[in-house]
Amino acid sequence: MSVTKKNIYIVDDDESVCRALKVLLTTFDFEVKTFNSAQSFFDAVPHDEPGCLVLDIHMSGLDGWAAQKKILDSGSKRPVIFISAEKQENAADRAVKVGAVGFLQKPFNGQTLVDLINAASESNDVMDKMAQ
């Protein structure tokens, strides 16, 4: 019996962050795809494709907040975890208010990210089963 890997999408304009998170998450057996902009993510991944999105807030072009709005407007139920290197007061509260499952301030503990992804995926699986 084969186990389907969970899809994780990382959107961050810092290539070193994308590489580091991809290495980390693949060691936990996730299927990871990285994107250097929100627009490149939207161009490549259909809104109804399952997976969890790790989304940087501060990017040129479409920032994380605008990307989250676009995700919600599309009707996608994809869980989003915001990350940011810039300290912003109330960013975690704002992230939850706009529908994200979490917010992590860079640098963050890798296990904390993995735990958030697993919690978001389990919650999403329950919601999918309830909708059936």
* pLDDT, tens only, 27-74: 999 999 999 999 999 999 998 899 999 999 999 899 999 999 999 999
pLDDT confidence of residue 101:
92
Query: Do the Cβ atoms of 68 and 99 come closer than 8 Å?
Result: yes
Mean of pLDDT values over 71-87 = 91
HEC string of 42-61? Answer: HHHCCCCCCCEEEEECCCCC
In which band, very low, low, confident or very high, does the pLDDT at 122 lie, cut at 50, 70 and 90?
A: confident
- Spell out the domains of the chain, with CATH numbers in brackets: 7-131 (3.40.50.2300)
Ranges 11-15, 53-57, 107-111, 126-130: which has the least confidence: 126-130
pLDDT for the residue numbered 91: 87
Average pLDDT score over residue span 87-114: 91
- Residue 17: in which H helix or E strand, if any? helix 15-27
Question: If pLDDT is split at 50, 70 and 90, which confidence band does 121 have?
Answer: confident
Q: Could you tell me which residues are beta bridge partners of residue 53?
A: 9, 80
Kind of pairing between the strands at 52-56 and 7-11: parallel
How would DSSP label each residue in 67-95?
Answer: HHHHHHHHT----EEEEESS--TTHHHHH
CA 88 from centroid of its chain's CA atoms = 19
The type of residue at 38 is A
